[in-house]
Amino acid sequence: MDARMTTDPMIESPQTEPQASSELDVKPETPEETKPAKQVRMPDPKLDPNSPNVFEVRDLNLYYEKFHALKNVTIDIPKNHVTAFIGPSGCGKSTLLRCFNRMNDLIDGVRIDGSITMEGQDIHSKDLDVVNLRTEVGMVFQAPNPFPMSIFDNVAYGLRCQGIRDMKKLRVVVEDSLRKAALWEEAKDHLHRNALKLSGGQQQRLCIARAIALEPKVILMDEPTSALDPIATAHIEDLIEELKKLYTIIIVTHSMNQAARISDKTAFFLLGDLVEVGDTSEVFHVPRDKRTEDYISGKFG
């Protein structure tokens, strides 16, 4: 099928996979990432402890052909919280993240059993509109992947795919999205400049703005800062703190420090098992499982 015939924000994109420039391509394996967290955030007093769950995952198994990548995973994702997925490479973090907007549908040989509901609706139901799901559940990848077009056109892209042509409306949404992504001040005088000329950190905020423009309920982030320098990383982390007031965020990170700093809930995975999930302060201070303790104290990873 001609990709241009769909409005699926994931399939429609000129490039669905992150396009890394050579300098952003390299995933820094800094020792910092595997060090125990220095600072663990205290529970956010502004969070509603009775927040409803956006997602409820029950006994989820996922197989790539015969390989059992996720094993009986059961987890709740509360609304307006930041939930971090941590664990060593290959433990299934990205695989689970991709389940939430059914991105794994795009991979041959994937089989899933168990259930995921979003606001009570089974996301694997035949009645579910996957295009709509991917609009409500946006995704930001590891390497920033702006499309090779202007800043304005990047942010307006999804809306134009939905058939919106009214420039007045597009301008409003572009400005609002860039403001929410903390990029407006830097970008407002260059909206028609090619997005590929932005710095890596600006490109990642642009990708967040592009996701926000579709008014998602959830933003999935797969190691969104691992290709960025510490200053750009701090920008994105501050932004996540702001964004959770409006959206539910699930972030995969290799950095223990980052999970401890920015997340409200932390889930630790190992070899496809969800070993432990709970309030970040508890998971880091009083882990229930010895394997979690060993991982967060840097004994393996």
Ligand X SMILES: Nc1ncnc2c1ncn2[C@@H]1O[C@H](COP(=O)(O)OP(=O)(O)OP(=O)(O)O)[C@@H](O)[C@H]1O
Q: Please report, as ranges, the residues that interact with Mg ion according to CB under 5 A.
A: 94
Alpha-carbon distance 130 to 15, whole Å? 19
Burial of 89 (0-12, 13-18, 19+ CB in 10 A): exposed
Which are the contacts of 244, defined by CB distance < 8 A and separation ≥ 6? Answer: 80, 81, 82, 264
CB atoms within 10 A of CB 32: 13
286 is a site residue for ligand X (CB under 6 A): no
Choice between 91 and 232, CB closer to Mg ion: 91
Near ligand X by CB under 6 A: residue from 2, 4, 46, 67: 67
The distance of closest approach from Cβ of residue 151 to ligand X in the complex, given in angstroms and rounded to an integer, is 29
28 is a site residue for ligand X (CB under 6 A): no
The DSSP symbol for 150 reads B
Alpha-carbon distance 165 to 163, whole Å? 6
* The two three-digit tokens of residue 228, written as one number: 């960025």
Which among 62-70, 152-160, 181-189, 286-294 is the span making contact with ligand X, rule CB under 6 A? Answer: 62-70
| Site size with ligand X, rule: CB under 6 A | 12
The contact pattern for ligand X, residues 75-94, with x = CB under 6 A and - = no contact, is: ------------x-xxxxxx
The distance of closest approach from Cβ of residue 70 to ligand X in the complex, given in angstroms and rounded to an integer, is 8
Burial of 17 (0-12, 13-18, 19+ CB in 10 A): exposed
The contact pattern for ligand X, residues 89-128, with x = CB under 6 A and - = no contact, is: xxxxxxx-----------x---------------------
The distance of closest approach from Cβ of residue 239 to ligand X in the complex, given in angstroms and rounded to an integer, is 22
* The two three-digit tokens of residue 29, written as one number: 């394996």
The distance of closest approach from Cβ of residue 22 to ligand X in the complex, given in angstroms and rounded to an integer, is 20
Chain residues binding ligand X by CB under 6 A are: 64, 67, 69, 87, 89-95, 107
